[in-house]
Amino acid sequence: MHDDHAAARSILLLSCIPGIGPARLRALLEFFDDTSDVARAGPRDLIRVPGIEQKTAMAIVTFFRNGVPGEAHRFVEDQLKSMDLHGIRFTTPGEADYPQHLRKIYDPPPFLFYQGCLIAQDAAAVAVVGTRSPSAYGTRIADRFATALAARGITIVSGLARGIDTVAHSAALRAGGRTIAVIGSGLDVLYPAENNTLAARIKAHGAVISEFPMGTKPDAMNFPQRNRVVSGMSLGTLVVETGIEGGAMITARNALDQNREVFAIPSPIDATTHSGTNRLVREGQALLTETPEDILAELLPHLHGLIPDLPLPPPRETPPLSLFEERVAGVIGNEPSHIDAISERTSLSSAETLVHLLALECKGVVRQLPGKHFVRT
């Protein structure tokens, strides 16, 4: 077992006591120097803890003095076994690896499970969030911003969801940077399953974290709770593309409540399904953001001492292309083009076109979208 299992065991046991939710658990952990002191405390000591009234104090005393219920013991031991099986670590706000900025929000999780590693550099974090169904424009912008920020030393935080989240995590990894995924389920129930491979890559270059115990399903009610962690561990939140009622809007509101910066990429005025970012700007809740430098300039006072003062990477040079690759690349723009249309424009067969498209994708010149559509990167 890992060294932190003793702390994990006692804290998870406390979470099993009737009436002890996250707020009261945080209060107990802050009041008592050692979790074992809670088990020995009498009602008079317990009611001195903020938020612990007589009824809850008696529930705590009964829980320990009458013998910890077998169900609670089984739950905790199952959690610890799952942590061992999946290489999961456990941290609390009092530990050095707990995200620095997350401690400062009004309702930080009393504990976190995580895979990978959390480091001091992650204090220089920006959340990149948006719709699960992005346009080609949104995909391209999310990739560009996450790439530039990660290359500068910013840790990219997102939620491992389909769409903008996936683009942001992937771009950060390609740029050789760090990224953190915050999920709304247990770490042994990754969602969506299609991102299992991406999650494994994130663990090697960052972390996947959750406040939910192992076995927790990805229920809809968990995601707004998850979103406050995404914004809470970040200096600022970039909303790339979202509907007015999208989950990214919840994350933006959380960031505002947490006194963090919100940045928004403007959407085309006729993009009615993605008008959330324009509303954030119009209502003065977000800074209209056109370049990664806009974010860095706004966050610069907070970044001193966290990341090296290095210039942004120069624009990427196009790698050498063959004659046929140049022909294919020349007919692809910023709007998606289907492979049949590309084939027709280049007078090449579909098979030949696909070969050159795959080569261009490997060279980072084009990106493939669902339905055999391609765009320039």
Q: Among 202-211, 225-234, 345-354, name the one with the lowest average pLDDT.
A: 345-354
DSSP state of 137: H
Q: Among 56-60, 62-66, 89-93, name the one with the lowest average pLDDT.
A: 62-66
pLDDT value at position 193? 87
pLDDT for 192 beyond 50: yes
pLDDT value at position 125? 97
Segment 281-307, tens digit of pLDDT: 998 899 999 999 999 989 988 887 777
Q: Over the range 322-353, which residues count as b (16 or more CB within 10 Å of their CB) and which as e?
A: eeebebbbeebeeebbebeebbeebebeeeeb
> Taking residues 102-109, what's their average pLDDT?
93
pLDDT value at position 2? 40
pLDDT value at position 210? 97
pLDDT value at position 102? 96
pLDDT value at position 143? 95
Gap between the Cα atoms of 273 and 137, Å rounded: 13
Indicate the average pLDDT of the chain: 89
**234, 260 Cβ separation under 8 angstroms:** yes
Reduce the DSSP state of residue 309 to 3 states and report it: coil
pTM of structure = 0.79
> Which domains occur in the chain, in start order?
5-86 (1.10.150.20), 114-303 (3.40.50.450), 323-376 (1.10.10.10)
pLDDT value at position 267? 87
Lookup: tokens for 323: 């004659």
Confidence class for position 309, pLDDT limits 50, 70, 90: low
**95, 13 Cβ separation under 8 angstroms:** no
Confidence class for position 308, pLDDT limits 50, 70, 90: low
* Three-state secondary structure of 179-222: EEEECCCCCCCCCCHHHHHHHHHHHHCEEEEECCCCCCCCCCCH
Confidence class for position 312, pLDDT limits 50, 70, 90: very low
pLDDT for 318 beyond 90: no
Gap between the Cα atoms of 165 and 161, Å rounded: 5
